[in-house]
Amino acid sequence: MAGDLYVLLVGVNDYGGRMTRLDGCLNDIDAFRELLRDQVPRPMLWIRELRDADATRQAVMDGFTGHLARAGAGDTAVFYFCGYGSVEPESEHRTIVCADSRTPGVPDLAEAEINALIAEVTADGAHMLVILDCGHTHRYTSPGRRSRALPPDPRSRRIADTPELDPPRVVLAACRPDQPACELVMDSRSQGAFSAMLRQGLATPGTFPYYAQHNWAYHWVTQLVGGDQEPVGYAVPPASMDEPMFGGVVQPRPPGVRLERYRDHWWIDVGPAHRVPPPAEDGRTTVVAVHPPQPDGAPPLGRARVTEVEARHCRVTLDPGWDPDPGLRYPVTVVDLPLPPGGIRLDGAPAATDLVRAHIADSPHIRETGDGEFVVYARHGWLIIAGPDGTPLAAPVPATPEGAAAVRELLDHLGRWQAVKQLDNPVSTITPGQVRLHRTNHHQPPMLDTFQSWPTGPGDIDPVDLACRPTGDGWSAAAEDLSLGNATDRPLYCTLLALTDDLRIHDRLLPARLIPPSSWADVSGAVAVAGVIPEDRWNGRAVIAEWWKIIVSEHPFDSAAFGLPRLGEPIPAPSAAIRSSRDVLDRLAVQAITRDEATEPDGGPEWATALLPVRFHRRVDGVRW
């Protein structure tokens, strides 16, 4: 098993008014801390932070001797400093400027002194990494950038460097000794250019040696700020640059989620940063099935329920009946989620909107939010439900108690539709893009056929554009070579739901069926038939937008359970078989449509979803596919 990781994070923006305030140092150590928490199991990660006034010279030295020195053979110690740097007067000895440096009796912390501290840390065989995002040569920078370097302290103090103080270490520094280190605004916040680019490299999947991480940072920093800042990497002995980052202690985060024991409690290593929702007001929460460390098809050992959330971790309680080993990490799969109600906005006459507000107060399906997808307008004594683009979705009703009750029924339908649209497993090992919709675009010779796929990866919002031709029943999607492909190494049950602009949901594009590994299912014919759009739905528009939702699971499920009729039509009750089903997706479908309590889930299959925007074009002239 890999050793522990001891980290000393030091960030100083505020030097008590003695120097120009920096802006990005605390942002840098915060981001580095979260990166480590995302990649290192909690029981292996030991972090001490010194921020602004707490980062005194003595506190930094104590951080080495009292924290990093706890690392032993097989462990890794990391010193990460963001703040001002400088040099000793009349010498080339580099320094870091602590929060109280250059006050009476307190000099900078010199490189030779840091090496002496490193020698203590590595005495028992620990691996040592030093990351310095500071400069050592004061130089004015271009507008929009700030240098993290100061002129030498005018008070003379010379420290002799000796060969004995050359301990084993790897150093990654923001720049050469004769260059400034810059901070600038990126992604709406101030950051060190070196820290930001180094984090990007560290977040890249895979395990890379130090020299590769240095090359990555060098390339992108010089691209970002030019040749005025060139990151430096070196090691003692030099061969250490060939070692994996952090001495191999930090491994790439495996797909999926793990249960682990940490400080007398059980946690899963994901949180809201990974889109895991907090417990809902009604008490519903995320539930995970816990599998053996080497599952090999074995049934789950038990279940755990989220009780508290942090940014990247969730505290859980274990269901009675089993007792996991605190020394092991267990893979888990999500088997239940709190499904938030859909959101709507109320706009217009206060008396009428208050009437609607009172009628939806106890709805499990819908709630008023400031950024709701749908809106209820109260105008001139009428209530009108409209879509995101302002298009009315139903006939106006009077702004009376009876009319508000009718609006409540329609809004409940919208809430069900939104629940299915938003259903997602944020931490599945079935990653975005492994199950895709494919299209082959056929061209006349000598042009070659071209191919498109959706989604291409996380956050992909490229629409699927389909040309429509007139038919006897309306307009139908033209013949397309469309298929749903399974690129994983396991068979998956897959469905393709259509969430239409008239607020219907159906699985006629592809009812749930088993697709073998590295195989596909043709959906061209179903799209041509099920995608017929009646003339009245166009309402003078050239383009109609809807959503297609891919849902996949290792276990069979009933895709029809997610179905909804058109807005305003009666919603059939789920069948007794669906209500009593213990399949994970069947249960979630029941909760999305009815909000009723479902049976306890059985097993713990992996499942995933992907949402694709689709546009049907009535006019094909001038449209490129």
We find that the CATH architecture of domain 342-420 is: 3-Layer(aba) Sandwich (3.40)
Q: What is the pLDDT of residue 157?
A: 65
Q: Do domains 257-336 and 342-420 have the same CATH topology?
A: no
pLDDT bracket for residue 454 (50, 70, 90): confident
Instruction: Decide which of 73 and 473 is more confident.
Output: 73
Taking residues 262-285, what's their average pLDDT?
Answer: 87
Environment class of 619 (CB within 10 Å of its CB; exposed 0-12, middle 13-18, buried 19+): exposed
Q: Where are the domains of the chain?
A: 5-248, 257-336, 342-420, 435-617
Query: Model pTM?
Result: 0.71
| pLDDT number for residue 599 | 74
Q: Which pLDDT does position 294 carry in this prediction?
A: 83
Least confident of 33-37, 160-164, 208-212, 408-412: 160-164
Give me the pLDDT at residue 348, please. Answer: 95
**pLDDT value at position 107?**
92
Whether pLDDT at 295 is above 50: yes
User: What's the mean pLDDT when you consider all of the chain?
Assistant: 89
Spatial neighbors of 421 by CB under 8 A, at least 6 apart, are: 499, 547, 549, 611
**Taking phi first (over 0 means left), then psi (-120 to 50 degrees means alpha), and beta for anything else, what does residue 83 get?**
left
3-state secondary structure of 501: coil
Which residues are CB-contacts of 108 (< 8 A; sequence separation ≥ 6)?
Answer: 57, 86, 88, 95, 96, 97, 98, 101, 102, 153
Can you tell me the distance from the alpha carbon of 303 to that of 312, in angstroms, rounded to the nearest whole number?
20
Query: CB burial class (10 A; 0-12, 13-18, 19+) of residue 254?
Result: exposed
CATH topology of domain 257-336: Thrombin, subunit H (2.40.10)
Is pLDDT of 452 > 70? Answer: yes
Determine the pLDDT at residue 163. 47
Fold of 5-248: Rossmann fold (3.40.50)
Segment among 23-32, 246-255, 431-440, 483-492 with least mean pLDDT: 246-255
Judged by average pLDDT, the poorest of 491-495, 515-519, 525-529 is: 525-529
The total number of residues shown for the chain amounts to 625
User: Which among 317, 298, 201, 307 is positioned nearest to 252, based on CA atoms?
Assistant: 201
* Calpha distance 254→501 (Å, rounded): 38
